Chain A
């Protein structure tokens, strides 16, 4: 390849100039990448890190939402109260609910997504339509979806009770019962997120080489055996990804139970029967104006998320070494 030559300058280059230019060049090589990523980190510092640290600072104080300037230092009192003090009953209850709601919504969701993706991987008629339809619930707003489901589970002429009536079962007060309400909230979550996960699985499935299936088929493996022994192992990293994302989503569950509860949604039902940690934090901070304690809940949730992340990493590592 020809190198461009400069014709307008003759004679040997000025050594001082060269050294300065090379220094500049080195500086450019080392500093530029940092400068290019700097905007993100500056914005993150202003909108991510600062609120995070400020929340941590607030969590060590007794402070009202309407009077943030007047914060009394209480040390770790807020954390102690959450674990052992008067609000501990509600904290443990919310943690339990978050876990049960998480399991109730995540497990069926991912299983259904896997099944749907497997079906869509075949050459179905109108495949494009089905694939688009899968994503429709995900594109629906939480508010719209939840309000529709609240009507379905309404004790006054709701569709769920009507269906139960058809098979001769009595009407259920869906919102009032501890399990029935959690079931209803899980249904909303499952409905919204199954399609999204199915599309992720489908994308991963299409990347699996065809010859693996052909080889399995020659060896006499049925469709089901192919799914178990070819599809699932090949999907392992994708499944792990969806599990991580779904468990983070489950830990932060807020919108669905909040809107489902109507007038008592701010505390997750009259008896706190579907109050998640997210709702407890909102209720404490914005309904009862206890900003310090709400911040402590936020940091506790952060800690829990780190634990969930750690558990996921460990499991992933085990899986990889088992392979």
Chain B
């Protein structure tokens, strides 16, 4: 082998390594769109969980109407994993043309640090602001009035309850009568819990977890974690009331103290060990799945004490995309009433577009597994329209997570309300800057 060839080989090796390093450190690219409306393009949609577009055949429908467009969906099962990946892509590039955002992330996405990465959808062609639930629209709007995401679905809350266990404890079991038991005040819900617990069938608790109760109280309150742009969790009306009621519920022994969504919580559904759970619309699927066919006909649904929202998502269009205009058009179409109604009928996501409520099959929806005769569609759409918007800020998700965890400290780790409160503030001091 000649020395010449050897150096060439070394050079090739070095360049390969350098290329690899470059590939690792950054592969960001941003381009401007082509102007030709009929050019063949591919739009990628990044989302998580079940958005229901594929299930409802919406992507096929759209590509049939726009033959030059191909749609690919990059779906992640867990929202947490999705968000981690999305954050690294916001830093390093590689975003999809359309990115879904969950409610707990929207406050950060609309903050000054991140809102520049997304385009203003309020100016997109064909978007109809009045059609969306006003509080949902507001959540995705920045202080400067730029709307970075259009609402796909909302999570209005109800209370799902076991009518057989209610009967056994001498409580009414009809949805209207049960709603009346606690109408207007979450404190009454805890009070009903005391009544239930006094005559409860052996081994059963009134609620699954006090953190669900805390969540319900806070999200139905107009004041949560922010006031006039400042964090106010230490004296916020919603936080204090939620915390106090959760502490009361733990003390009264009306909660089973499960960690929501964990395996033991799932098992408890089939073991029939609790009688109620705070029930955002998407929880219906969990109830049916974990309770199983053996418990069919036992669950029913009632109005929550106060209208609150838990979860729901948005579709946003990153500014770095190659086909921003086409992506915006797809987002506007996907969040229009007809499409949201189709998704609702297929996978049960409650529309964020209130015009969809007028379409057949939405408000008059009933769930065959949960209180087949209960007006489920009515309960959720009434709650969705009654929700009062609360001010949020970039740390909304962190703060809410810390306080929900604090409630767990009371019911799982035997901490007093004061100890748990102190531990929660310590956690916030460490992780919220």
User: Which residues of A pack against B, CB within 8 Å?
Assistant: 24, 27, 35, 38-39, 42-43, 45-47, 50-51, 54, 62, 64-70, 86-87, 89-90, 150-151, 154-157, 173, 176, 262-264, 266-267, 270-271, 273, 284, 286-290
CB-nearest residue of chain A to B1? A28
Q: How many A-B residue pairs have CB under 8 A?
A: 109
B358 within 8 A of A: no
Contact between B431 and A290, CB atoms less than 8 A apart = yes
Among candidates A38, A70, A87, A270, residue contacting B405 with C-beta atoms closer than 8 Å: A270
Q: A50-B21, A271-B423, A286-B84 are in contact. Are A67 and B90 (CB under 8 A)?
A: yes
CB-nearest residue of chain B to A153? B264
Show 11 residue pairs from A and B whose CB-CB distance is below 8 angstroms, ordered by the A residue: A38-B13, A46-B18, A47-B20, A65-B84, A86-B429, A90-B427, A262-B261, A264-B405, A264-B408, A270-B259, A270-B413
CB-nearest residue of chain B to A285? B84
Beyond the given pairs A66-B113, A156-B264, A262-B259, 8 more chain A to chain B contacts, judged by CB atoms under 8 angstroms and listed by A's residue number, are: A24-B3, A45-B17, A46-B20, A66-B87, A154-B263, A157-B271, A176-B412, A262-B261
Q: A43-B17, A270-B409, A271-B423 are in contact. Are A263 and B260 (CB under 8 A)?
A: yes
What is the CB-to-nearest-CB distance from B372 to chain A, in angstroms, rounded to a whole number?
28
Among candidates A42, A62, A266, residue contacting B13 with C-beta atoms closer than 8 Å: A42
Tell me the complex Cα distance, A288–B398, Å. 7
Contact between A64 and B113, CB atoms less than 8 A apart = yes
Contact between A150 and B263, CB atoms less than 8 A apart = yes
Q: Which residues of A are found within 8 Å of B3, using beta-carbon distances?
A: 24, 27
Tell me the complex Cα distance, A7–B232, Å. 96
Identify the 9 closest CB pairs spanning chains A and B, nearest first: A42-B17, A66-B87, A68-B91, A262-B262, A156-B264, A156-B267, A270-B408, A46-B21, A87-B430
Tell me the complex Cα distance, A264–B80, Å. 12
CB-nearest residue of chain A to B268? A156
What is the CB-to-nearest-CB distance from B56 to chain A, in angstroms, rounded to a whole number?
30
Tell me the complex Cα distance, A302–B24, Å. 22
CB contacts under 8 Å to A, within B230-283, are: 258-264, 267-268, 271, 273
Contact between A39 and B271, CB atoms less than 8 A apart = no
B426 within 8 A of A: yes
Contact between A271 and B409, CB atoms less than 8 A apart = yes
Tell me the complex Cα distance, A27–B25, Å. 35
Tell me the complex Cα distance, A43–B24, Å. 12
Q: A42-B14, A66-B114, A263-B261 are in contact. Are A173 and B430 (CB under 8 A)?
A: no
Q: Which residues of A are found within 8 Å of B6, using beta-carbon distances?
A: 35
What is the CB-to-nearest-CB distance from A93 to chain B, in angstroms, rounded to a whole number?
11
Contact between B271 and A66, CB atoms less than 8 A apart = no
Contact between A38 and B264, CB atoms less than 8 A apart = no
Tell me the complex Cα distance, A27–B103, Å. 65
Tell me the complex Cα distance, A289–B21, Å. 24
Most chain B CB within a 10 A radius of its CB, from A35, A68, A263, A290: A263
Q: Which residues of A are found within 8 Å of B262, using beta-carbon distances?
A: 262-263
CB-nearest residue of chain A to B92? A68
CB-nearest residue of chain A to B267? A156
Tell me the complex Cα distance, A284–B260, Å. 23
CB contacts under 8 Å to A, within B141-192, are: none
Tell me the complex Cα distance, A87–B267, Å. 35
Contact between B413 and A66, CB atoms less than 8 A apart = no
Contact between A271 and B413, CB atoms less than 8 A apart = yes
Contact between A176 and B398, CB atoms less than 8 A apart = no
Q: Which residues of B are found within 8 Å of A68, using beta-carbon distances?
A: 91-92
CB contacts under 8 Å to A, within B15-60, are: 16-18, 20-21, 24-25
Tell me the complex Cα distance, A267–B405, Å. 10
B10 within 8 A of A: yes
Tell me the complex Cα distance, A151–B263, Å. 8
Q: Which residues of A are found within 8 Å of B408, using beta-carbon distances?
A: 264, 270
CB-nearest residue of chain B to A177? B413
Q: Which residues of A are found within 8 Å of B18, using beta-carbon distances?
A: 46
What is the CB-to-nearest-CB distance from B13 to chain A, in angstroms, rounded to a whole number?
6
Contact between B10 and A35, CB atoms less than 8 A apart = yes
Q: Which residues of B are found within 8 Å of A89, using beta-carbon distances?
A: 426, 430
Tell me the complex Cα distance, A54–B268, Å. 47
CB-nearest residue of chain B to A62? B433
Contact between B412 and A173, CB atoms less than 8 A apart = yes
Contact between A176 and B413, CB atoms less than 8 A apart = yes
CB contacts under 8 Å to A, within B91-106, are: 91-92
Tell me the complex Cα distance, A44–B170, Å. 70
Tell me the complex Cα distance, A89–B398, Å. 18
Contact between A264 and B259, CB atoms less than 8 A apart = yes
Q: Which residues of A are found within 8 Å of B91, using beta-carbon distances?
A: 65-69
Tell me the complex Cα distance, A45–B90, Å. 26
Tell me the complex Cα distance, A273–B14, Å. 47
Chain B, 304-344, contact with A by CB distance < 8 Å: what is the 0/1 string? 00000000000000000000000000000000000000000
Tell me the complex Cα distance, A264–B263, Å. 12
Contact between A263 and B412, CB atoms less than 8 A apart = no
B88 within 8 A of A: yes
Among candidates B90, B263, B426, B433, residue contacting A66 with C-beta atoms closer than 8 Å: B90
Among candidates B88, B413, B430, residue contacting A65 with C-beta atoms closer than 8 Å: B88
Contact between B259 and A263, CB atoms less than 8 A apart = yes
Q: Which residues of A are found within 8 Å of B90, using beta-carbon distances?
A: 66-67
Tell me the complex Cα distance, A157–B16, Å. 56
Contact between A290 and B433, CB atoms less than 8 A apart = yes
What is the CB-to-nearest-CB distance from A48 to chain B, in angstroms, rounded to a whole number?
11
Q: A27-B3, A155-B264 are in contact. Are A47 and B412 (CB under 8 A)?
A: no
